[in-house]
């Protein structure tokens, strides 16, 4: 059963993991690298539904792929100089 992501709702990291179908370690990595914005409340993080929708959008995926390919080209050019 697919759950609807409500843009103005607040989700725990566990709820966000389930909605995004990712592991706990992946969620931690996304938060640590700043790829998903989360607010710390006490010792736990909370994530807005709008942020989950932003991360799942195809536009962000395209930006991530483009960024990766640019970085890869730079690394290859530096290796070729050696």
Residue 2, pLDDT score: 64
For 6-47, the pLDDT digits (tens) are 889 999 999 999 999 999 999 999 999 888 999 999 999 999
- Please report, rounded to a whole number, the percentage of residues in the chain having pLDDT higher than 90: 50
Q: Is 69 exposed, middle or buried (0-12, 13-18, 19+ CB in 10 A)?
A: exposed
For 47-69, the pLDDT digits (tens) are 999 999 888 887 766 777 787 88
Q: Which of 23, 2, 12, 82 is nearest to 52 (CA)?
A: 12
Report how far apart, in Å, the C-alpha atoms of 59 and of each of 14, 44, 47, 62 are: 24, 29, 20, 5
pTM of the model: 0.66
CA dist 74 and 28 (Å) reads 27
Q: Tell me which of 62 and 2 has the higher pLDDT.
A: 62
């Amino acid at each position: 059963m697919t759950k609807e992501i409500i843009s103005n709702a607040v989700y725990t990291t566990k709820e966000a993991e389930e909605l995004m179908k990712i592991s706990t370690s992946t969620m931690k990595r996304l938060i640590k690298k700043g790829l998903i914005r989360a607010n710390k409340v006490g010792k736990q993080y909370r994530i807005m539904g709008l942020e989950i929708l932003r991360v799942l959008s195809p536009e962000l995926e395209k930006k991530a792929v483009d960024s990766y390919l640019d970085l890869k080209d730079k690394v290859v050019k530096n290796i070729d100089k050696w």
